[in-house]
Amino acid sequence: MADGIAKDGTAELMDAARRALPGGSFGNFAAEVIIAEGRGAHVWDVSGREYIDYLLGSGPMFVGHAHPAVTEAVLAQVPKGTTFFANNPHGIRLAQAIVDAVPCAEQVRFVSSGSEADLYAMRLARAYRGRSKIVKFEGGYHGMSDWGLMSLAPKHLANFPQAVPDSPGIPEAVRAEMLIAPFNDAEAAVRLIEARAEEIGGVILEPFQRLIPPVPGFLEAVREVTARLGIPLIFDEVVTGFRFAYGGAQAYYGVTPDICTLGKIVGGGFPLAVVAGRADIMRHFDRAAVGEAGFLTQIGTLSGNPVASAAGLATLELLRAPGAYDAVFATGRRLMDGMSALIAEAGIPAQTVGEPVLFDVVYTAGEVRDYRATLRQDTAMQKHVNGVLRASGILKGDSKFYISTAHDAADIDRTLEAFRAALASLPGSRGAA
């Protein structure tokens, strides 16, 4: 048990949460889980219970919780001031580090969240292109803006390219500005982009959509058609940036967009996100370069925050260490392969989907290559296994295992033991009692 965690107060906190918070939670995770401390690849709740953490704060803690180097950088800055609403050395150095690392990044603009970054990236593409419509891919997550919440997880399926709002409160007019394509269907995407090219301001996609890797040739086809027609291509790398490779998914897959968004890892666990891209597009953030008519206003109280920037710089320095990515991929691959073997042993219709640093089990047979394929999943089976894992001290999101550089062989062994037991508890499993 971690030092300093009080083993009481849980009921009082849960009662306060029920009174003060809609649904008793921040809206992110199960309300009954109240985390008090994290260290490395482990977290402790307010009762002192320890978990192996594959939630990782929904991904930012790629080097583990409270890494000494990141903590040292933060504690060095805090006594000097926590925000200035002006340029600061850490923010400038972080911007340069991103430009040096990410293939598409010639210039950077800071914001505070991935939702903001995606919103501004779409606005930036429209400003540059002088067209209003955005193409996105069904099932793709691009934050909480009205535009991002089109066809993320539609409750009813529509014919492409019709957009379906995922939330009440979104103006009907927004639907008309979004064109929806199926992920991993290069022919359909190219056909849509070519047919509506004169209306399209930009195309946005996750190069790795939630859990689903791109099929060979898909990203290349979208890149070719957008480049040929002069339409900005946006890669949403809030999740994949600095996770799949030091240069992100665009380096990992070898396809360079015009604009990308970054978040999570790049802030080292603090609220910081990025819009990055070609200088001729990014100049729309510079009034002196484009004039009043072309200027895209973007102001954020905490943009480029010095504490967050210091944490981000320290995190990136750790990831530049030789072998850092080889090691974390090897850890994730051992867990992913081990779970695949246990699934086969249990004889249940399920499969691991994703990449070694970010994957999950999808409880269905047949190929999973787009959002509609995920709808075949047995969600009751998924919920049951996740519940057994949590009861066994394994913390994960509903649909993801995030792997960190802090997870070790003992963590993987314990997780595989818990997963074996969870599968054995399923009706129809060969290991069922």
Place of tokens 């955005």: 134
Which residue is catalytic, options 146, 185, 236, 411? 236
246 catalytic, yes or no? Answer: no
For residue 295, what is the DSSP state?
A: -
Identity of residue 126: R
Query: Which pairing describes strands 42-45 and 358-362: parallel, antiparallel, or unpaired?
Result: unpaired
CB of 355 closer than 8 Å to CB of 244: yes
Peptide bond into 161 cis (omega under 30): yes
Measure the CA–CA gap between 428 and 337, rounded to whole angstroms: 22
In contact, 381 and 346? CB cutoff 8 Å: no
Active-site residue 371, yes or no?
A: no
The Cα–Cα gap between 394 and 151 comes to 31
Is 264 considered catalytic here? yes
CA distance 148 to 170: 11
Show the tokens assigned to 426: 């399923």
Catalytic residue (choose from 136, 264, 396, 400): 264
Q: Which of 141, 252, 325, 402 is catalytic?
A: 141
Dihedral angle sign, alpha carbons of residues 46, 52, 58, 64: positive
The token pair at 342 is 């246990």
d(CA 60, CA 129): 32
Instruction: State the catalytic residues.
Output: 141, 236, 264
